[in-house]
Amino acid sequence: MGRRPNMAEVVAAEPALSNQILEVEGLCAHHGQLLALDGVSFTVGEGSVFAVIGANGAGKSTLMRSIAGLHRPSEGRVIFDGTDITRLSTPQRVELGISLVPEGRRLFASLSVEENLLTGTYIRRSGHWTIERVYEMFPWMWQRKNQRSSLLSGGEQQTVAISRALLANPRLLLIDELSLGLAPIVVRSIYGSLSKIMEGGLTVLIVEQDVNQALSVAAKFQCMLEGRTTLSGKPAEFTPEEIEAAYFGLNSTSSIHGKD
Amino acid sequence: MLNAIIQGILLGGLVVLFACGLSLLFGVMGVINLAHGDIAVAAAYVAVAIVPVLHIPAIWIFAIVVPLFMVAGYIVQRLLIQPSLNSGPLTTLLVTFGLSVIIENLLLEIFSANSHSLAIGSLASSAFKLSSQISIAYLSLLILVVSIVVVAGVQLGLYRTRTGRIIRAVADDREAAELIGADYRHIFGIAAGLAFGTVALAGLSLAMYSQVDPSSGPDYLIFGFEAVVIGGLGSLWGTFAGGIVLGIATTIGLFLSANFGALAPHIVFLLVLALRPQGFFPKKVAV
């Protein structure tokens, strides 16, 4: 893209160490008149966790939906493993290996737990994940496989939603608002299973409001505010104050104290 | 009276065949297809037109017309109904209403306003006696059996097959279905194909059972619609029960007075709407 004013792109332009599975270039997206994404760029290395943090309305979900193909960006490109996928439909992207766990889980309410999992195998991409592997990892799911998914707790629903996405055997897993509405202990347990989930070389892109949780697992992150990237890089490169300032859009890091 | 109830159940089979596709389209896509009755009539006319040309027994016509209408259903969904879906339910209603008008007038243009029926020989008039007062026509019984097979088959398909599972998933949440790689427009097309296939079956049965004319579609639409509402929106077995109730209402009405037969089912419908507007077996909405 022609204009490169923000620091995100400066950081993103650092030499890549490994194969970049996802490249987002100058992505702009609108909700009606509202500009939800304003020239967002970043790259995600294969086999890593990348976190997108930011407050409500920062454009995180729009970014995820644009990568998954549910939202048409007005400008910019999405490149997956070297292929420009900006114009592909959502099902086409799933077939290439991009799965999104949507905000709010969105399980099929009238389907049982097992039926929900089985819908994940619709495209028949081969790979590590089978329904047996899922049951092996989460034995409670097998015990409750005939239950209606709407009877599960929020954390259980989130785990089923992640498993459903895994059964499509994606190379890139997008998780939108993983911890939204979940108890902290449940969130920790889901994050705990993340490393096991990634064993097969999976790349994970997480959108979170729970900054500490997200940054503890992410190799790289970016912070968004009002559709723009305000900070990006490795979590260790920044102090909590710097991250907080980027999160809330404060110019001076010295003006905030003791906030979580 | 007993005879009236038995004949009503038999008649109900035909109503069920009409209503099944209507229920399916509403349950999966939330679409009320106002052209539903006309599609049945069109199927009957296609049969009337090709039977003399092909010189085949009328019963074979099912194997030709039903698949033909399934394909037509898929195409109509993808080309006509799908583009209207994004513009809101009113647009979809108008599109199917337009389709209804077009089909009626095309049939009038090609076949004139005369009524037609499909000749199937002795099956149409033969019956067996259950008692001295009750006789059951083979054709009516056959239609009832077919309606049971169709409803059970669609239900089994929805709950026991991979495609059925995806149809239900799409009915629950289109976007989430896209995220597992299902093109919901294709799935809608399959549902519409099933709906058109079943209503073509209804149209052919009707043409064997009595007569059709180009303008009779909306009458059947009303019966089908009433069966869906009585049974509860989105529930196939509910629709089945609704169809049987309407059939019984018709024959009991006829039993009471020759004029009352046409009115009775609509009164039953209004009563259900007033007393139990959600129908008898509403689809459980999970939150």
Is the pLDDT at B146 greater than 70, yes or no?
A: yes
Question: For residue range A1-53, what is the model confidence (pLDDT) as tens digits?
Answer: 444 445 444 444 444 456 899 999 999 999 988 999 999 999 999 999 999 99
Which chain A residue is nearest to residue B186, measuring alpha carbons? A91
Residue A258: predicted pLDDT: 39
Tell me how far apart the alpha carbons of residues B223 and B21 are, in angstroms, rounded to a whole number.
13
Q: Is residue B16 a contact partner of residue B146, using CB atoms and an 8 Å limit?
A: no
Residue B95: predicted pLDDT: 96
**Mean pLDDT of the residues in chain B:** 91
Name the nearest CA neighbour of B16 among B243, B282, B237: B243
| DSSP for residue B87 | T
Q: Is residue A41 a contact partner of residue A116, using CB atoms and an 8 Å limit?
A: no
How would DSSP label each residue in B180-218? TT--HHHHHHHHHHHHHHHHHHHHHHHHHHS-B-TT-HH
Residue A82 included in any domain: yes
Which chain B residue is nearest to residue A99, measuring alpha carbons? B179
Q: How many CA atoms lie within 13 A of A52 on its CB side?
A: 30
Is the pLDDT at A256 greater than 80, yes or no?
A: no
Q: Is residue A35 a contact partner of residue A228, using CB atoms and an 8 Å limit?
A: no
Q: Number of folded domains in chain B?
A: 1
Residue B133: predicted pLDDT: 84
Query: What ipTM was predicted for this assembly?
Result: 0.86
User: What number is the average pLDDT over the span A233-246?
Assistant: 92
Q: Is A45 left (phi over 0), alpha (psi -120 to 50) or beta?
A: beta
Three-state secondary structure along chain A? Answer: CCCCCCHHHHHHCCCCCCCEEEEEEEEEEEECCEEEEEEEEEEEECCCEEEEEECCCCCHHHHHHHHHCCCCCCEEEEEECCEECCCCCHHHHHHHCEEEECCCCCCCCCCEHHHHHHHCCCCCCCCCCCHHHHHHHCHHHHHCCCCEHHHCCHHHHHHHHHHHHHCCCCCEEEEECCCCCCCHHHHHHHHHHHHHHHHHCCEEEEEECCHHHHHHHCCEEEEEECCEEEEEECHHHCCHHHHHHHHHCCCCHHHCCCCC
Residue A18: predicted pLDDT: 60
Is the pLDDT at B234 greater than 80, yes or no?
A: no
User: What number is the average pLDDT over the span B190-214?
Assistant: 94
Q: Is A168 in contact with B181 (Cβ distance < 8 A)? A: yes
Residue B285 included in any domain: no
Q: Is B162 in contact with A111 (Cβ distance < 8 A)? A: no
Question: For residue range A181-217, what is the model confidence (pLDDT) as tens digits?
Answer: 899 899 999 998 888 888 878 999 999 888 988 999 9
Residue B8 included in any domain: yes
CATH code at A179?
3.40.50.300
The residue among B127 and A157 whose pLDDT is bigger is A157
Residue B284: predicted pLDDT: 53
Residue B80 included in any domain: yes
Which chain B residue is nearest to residue A102, measuring alpha carbons? B176
Return the structure tokens found at B263.
Answer: 């009115």
Residue A219 included in any domain: yes
Q: What is the CA radius of gyration of chain B?
A: 19
Q: Which of B168, B172, B179 comes nearest A94 by C-beta?
A: B179
Q: Number of folded domains in chain A?
A: 1
Give the residue ranges of DSSP H helices in B55-183. 61-76, 82-85, 89-111, 138-160, 162-172, 174-179
Q: Is A150 in contact with B287 (Cβ distance < 8 A)? A: yes
Q: Is B180 in contact with A119 (Cβ distance < 8 A)? A: yes
Secondary structure of residue B129 in the 3-state scheme: strand
| Beta strand pairing call for A172-176 and A98-101 | parallel
Residue A20 included in any domain: yes
Q: Is A109 in contact with B286 (Cβ distance < 8 A)? A: yes
Residue A25: predicted pLDDT: 95
List residues bridging with A228 in a β-sheet.
A225
Asked if A96 reaches chain B (Cβ–Cβ under 8 Å), the answer is no
The residue among B118 and B270 whose pLDDT is bigger is B270
Residue B280 included in any domain: no
Q: Which of A91, A107, A148 comes nearest B178 by C-beta?
A: A91
Asked if A118 reaches chain B (Cβ–Cβ under 8 Å), the answer is yes
Residue A119 included in any domain: no
Tell me how far apart the alpha carbons of residues A198 and A21 are, in angstroms, rounded to a whole number.
15
Report in angstroms the alpha-carbon separations of B141 from A143, A164, B126, B137, B145: 44, 45, 11, 6, 6
Residue B128 included in any domain: no
Report in angstroms the alpha-carbon separations of B99 from A164, B80, B105, B198: 39, 9, 10, 18
Residue B283 included in any domain: no
Tell me how far apart the alpha carbons of residues B220 and B67 are, in angstroms, rounded to a whole number.
21
Residues 6 or more apart whose CB falls under 8 angstroms from that of B49 comprise: B111
Residue B91 included in any domain: yes
Residue B157 included in any domain: yes
User: What number is the average pLDDT over the span B236-256?
Assistant: 94
* pLDDT band, residue B190 (cuts 50/70/90): very high
Size of interface A-B (CB pairs under 8 A): 77
Q: Is B287 in contact with A91 (Cβ distance < 8 A)? A: no
Residue A231: predicted pLDDT: 92
Tell me how far apart the alpha carbons of residues B24 and B178 are, in angstroms, rounded to a whole number.
20
Residue A120 included in any domain: no
Is the pLDDT at A57 greater than 80, yes or no?
A: yes
Residue A134 included in any domain: no
Range of the domain at B94: 2-123+134-275
Residue B157: predicted pLDDT: 94
Question: For residue range A102-146, what is the model confidence (pLDDT) as tens digits?
Answer: 999 999 999 999 999 999 999 988 888 999 999 999 999 999 999
Residue A257: predicted pLDDT: 41
CATH code at B184?
1.10.3470
Residue A188 included in any domain: yes
A61, A64, A90: best to mutate for the B interface, most B CBs within 10 A = A90
pTM, entire model: 0.88
| Beta strand pairing call for A203-208 and A49-54 | parallel
What is the H or E stretch that residue B137 is in? strand B135-137
Tell me how far apart the alpha carbons of residues A258 and A241 are, in angstroms, rounded to a whole number.
9
Measured in angstroms, the CA of B225 and the nearest CA of chain A are apart by: 24
Measured in angstroms, the CA of A166 and the nearest CA of chain B are apart by: 10
Name the nearest CA neighbour of A38 among A19, A21, A24: A24
Residue A176: predicted pLDDT: 95
Residue A11: predicted pLDDT: 44
Range of the domain at A232: 7-105+170-250
Return the structure tokens found at B260.
Answer: 């009352």
Is the pLDDT at B124 greater than 90, yes or no?
A: no
Which chain B residue is nearest to residue A67, measuring alpha carbons? B179
- Which residues in chain A touch residue B283, judged by CB atoms under 8 angstroms apart? 110
Residue A176 included in any domain: yes
Q: Is A115 in contact with B175 (Cβ distance < 8 A)? A: no
Q: Which of A90, A164, A165 comes nearest B178 by C-beta?
A: A90
Q: Is B181 in contact with A91 (Cβ distance < 8 A)? A: yes
Identify the weakest region by mean pLDDT among A13-27, B80-94, B96-110: A13-27
